[in-house]
Amino acid sequence: MLYNYKINRAIGFSTTTHLKQKRKGKDIPYIIHPLTVGLILSRAGANEETIVAGILHDTIEDSPSENKVSKEMLEKHFGKGVAYIVDSVSETNKKLSWEVRKSEALEHIKTFSHSSLLVKSADIISNTSELIDDYEQEGNKTFTRFNAPKEELLQNYLRTITAIIFRWSENPLIEDLQWVGRKLQMIGALHFMPKYPAPIIEYKDYKDDMLLQCPVCEWKGTPKSSGWINTDSHYCLDVSCPNCEKMLLVVNYSLAN
């Protein structure tokens, strides 16, 4: 039996919790997002506990004051495992500044279990896919509904993606994370390119095992490990970040001795 009573109860609980809420700056029911997260997790082959946690993942952090949900409530209704996962992916202090909250959340990923990483991955994929779709329709107007500047919002998503991938290299949602990561970097490219120009070096100074770091998403590795070495040009090769496709290095053949 693939669809069961516990998943059905989670959908009902999440729907009731978010009943009067809308997606940020939009006339779309909030419940669309947690249901999408549950669907992504199901497609990724997650177990029942993780799917239930995905459907409930915003009930602690984003429940309205008149219908506040606690970890204890989730534990009572859905068990300790579900409550632990939901609590782990929740920001605990909304009174802190956006920058501090996101910095703490990024650091917290280092302690995540695989189930928490799956829920966080699905959450990121759902949110950023919606953001990408909205941007294609509305352009920069999309970012006016958020509490952070466009570039900071994009960079936070990208660094979160890298942190998740670094924490669990066999995450079944890695390709999806990298796909949205590349889309996000392209949206911010007019800001990221001049701020973080790719260095140009001579071929004699290039090595496949030289250490590189992406200034946008903080990926670290070598040209060889990136898998993104472009040798199509007769004049140079370039290396890009595998997580966001930011160009990291240009190697000029014409300067080789």
The pLDDT, as a whole number, for residue 196 is 98
Task: Compute CA distances 238 → 137, 171, 209, 248, whole Å.
Answer: 32, 28, 14, 7
Residue identified by tokens 């997790």 is 41
- Report DSSP state, residue 22: B
Q: What is the pTM of this model?
A: 0.94
Tell me which architecture the domain covering 5-191 has in CATH: Orthogonal Bundle (1.10)
The pLDDT, as a whole number, for residue 256 is 45
Task: Compute CA distances 99 → 105, 126, 171, whole Å.
Answer: 10, 22, 27
Domain boundaries, the chain: 5-191, 196-255
Q: Which residues contact 53 (CB under 8 A, 6 or more apart)?
A: 81, 82, 85, 86, 115, 119
Q: Are 213 and 219 in contact (CB under 8 A)?
A: yes
The pLDDT, as a whole number, for residue 255 is 47
Q: Are 63 and 19 in contact (CB under 8 A)?
A: no
The kind and range of the H/E element at 104 are helix 98-108
The pLDDT, as a whole number, for residue 83 is 98
One-letter amino acid for residue 222 of the chain: T
* pLDDT digits (tens), the chain, 257 positions: 466 889 999 999 999 999 999 998 899 999 999 999 999 999 999 999 999 999 999 999 999 988 899 999 999 999 999 999 999 999 988 889 999 999 999 999 999 999 999 999 999 999 999 999 999 999 999 999 998 999 999 999 999 999 999 999 999 999 999 999 999 999 999 999 999 999 999 999 999 999 999 999 999 999 999 999 999 888 899 999 999 999 999 999 964 44
Q: Are 74 and 82 in contact (CB under 8 A)?
A: yes
The pLDDT, as a whole number, for residue 2 is 62
Q: In what order do the strands lie in the sheet with 247-252?
A: 200-202, 247-252, 236-240, 229-230
